């Protein structure tokens, strides 16, 4: 998705001729953050640990975005686009997983008489 947006928008970075929108580093960081936060909602995690990890994930995405702008690798709007794209795609995946638990369950390996069976 990120490469498709880079091709469609076609805006160069502050230094150089490579396409810059959206920032790939920020897209990856935002995706990781949202997926980790989604997994925490599915597992037993204390509210205090959840709050700490949420703050750390926000700080991670902000730090990556800040570094990309400070290094003149991206425009601030490239960073914003990366946050929106990464978080949006991860949120869509989390929504799909939550809406279709039987699909996720059938994709996990199941143990059967010492052997592992894939699928349903």
Share of the chain above pLDDT 70, in %: 75
What was the pLDDT predicted at 43?
80
Query: Structure pTM?
Result: 0.68
Contact status, residue 64 vs residue 26, Cβ threshold 8 Å: yes
**pLDDT surpasses 60 at 111:** no
What was the pLDDT predicted at 66?
92
Q: Beta strands 115-117 and 110-112: pairing type? A: antiparallel
Contact status, residue 65 vs residue 26, Cβ threshold 8 Å: yes
What was the pLDDT predicted at 78?
87
How do residues 60-107 score in pLDDT, each as one tens digit? 999 999 998 898 888 788 888 889 999 998 999 888 888 877 765 555
What are the boundaries of each domain within the chain?
2-117
Confidence tier at 33 by pLDDT (50, 70, 90): very high
Token pair, residue 72, equals 């003149």
What was the pLDDT predicted at 76?
86
Confidence tier at 42 by pLDDT (50, 70, 90): confident
């Amino acid at each position: 998705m990120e490469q498709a947006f880079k091709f469609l928008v076609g805006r160069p970075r502050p230094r150089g001729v490579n396409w810059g929108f959206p920032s790939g580093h920020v897209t990856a960081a935002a995706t990781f953050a949202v997926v980790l936060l989604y997994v925490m909602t599915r597992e037993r995690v204390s509210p205090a640990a959840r709050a700490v990890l949420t703050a750390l994930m926000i700080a991670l995405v902000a730090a990556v975005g800040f570094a990309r702008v400070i290094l003149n690798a991206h425009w601030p709007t490239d960073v914003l686009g990366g946050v929106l794209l990464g978080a949006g795609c991860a949120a869509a995946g989390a929504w799909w997983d939550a809406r279709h638990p039987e699909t996720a369950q059938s994709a996990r390996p199941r143990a059967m008489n010492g052997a592992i069976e894939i699928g349903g």
